[in-house]
Amino acid sequence: MNDFTYVTTEAAVSTYNSATGVFNALLQEVRELSKKKPDATMSPSKVKLINAVLDDLLMVLHDDPESKYLRRLEDDELPQVSDALLMMAQFDAALDAFRKRYYRYVRINYLRKVFWITAEKVAEWEAQGEQIESGDEL
């Protein structure tokens, strides 16, 4: 039996891992653009590109408490760069919370390792009869 308070899925972790690198690169670009022209209106192609990544992240984060603050960028009324940066900063904070919530030290039969806490991994440990204990966040 496990004592994990929070458990996610392998699919969510896979999407998180593939999307965060792209998201971080986009966030850096928007930050740089915001320093130069914070009031500039974003182009439709930029908004479309950012929203493609945000849509993936929304699927990952939809069950987490921070999700109620997350929205994709408006593509009807194109946002200013500073507004886009604000929205993306909220996603950045939610991604940090996701990692802290689900990527943890776990003690398995006296060994302490770091794992993503997923339903699939917990079921595997339980099926193998492992003695598992939730540990501290990283």
Which pLDDT band holds residue 67 (cuts at 50, 70, 90)? Answer: very high
**Dist. CA 116–CA 60, nearest whole Å:** 14
Query: In this model, does residue 135 exceed pLDDT 70?
Result: no
Q: Which among 101, 114, 97, 105 has a CA at the least distance from the CA of 136?
A: 105
Span 34-53, mean pLDDT? 95
User: What is the predicted pLDDT for the residue at 43?
Assistant: 94
Contact in structure between 48 and 17 (CB atoms under 8 Å): no
Contact in structure between 116 and 102 (CB atoms under 8 Å): yes
Residues forming beta bridges with residue 79, ordered by sequence position = none
pTM reported for the whole predicted model: 0.90
**Dist. CA 48–CA 108, nearest whole Å:** 44
% of the chain exceeding 70 in pLDDT: 96
Which pLDDT band holds residue 94 (cuts at 50, 70, 90)? Answer: very high
Span 106-124, mean pLDDT? 90
| Least confident residue range of 2-6, 21-25, 64-68, 109-113 | 2-6
User: What is the predicted pLDDT for the residue at 88?
Assistant: 97
Cβ neighbors of 47 (< 8 A, separation 6 or more) are: 73, 74, 75, 78, 79, 84
Residues forming beta bridges with residue 108, ordered by sequence position = 111, 132
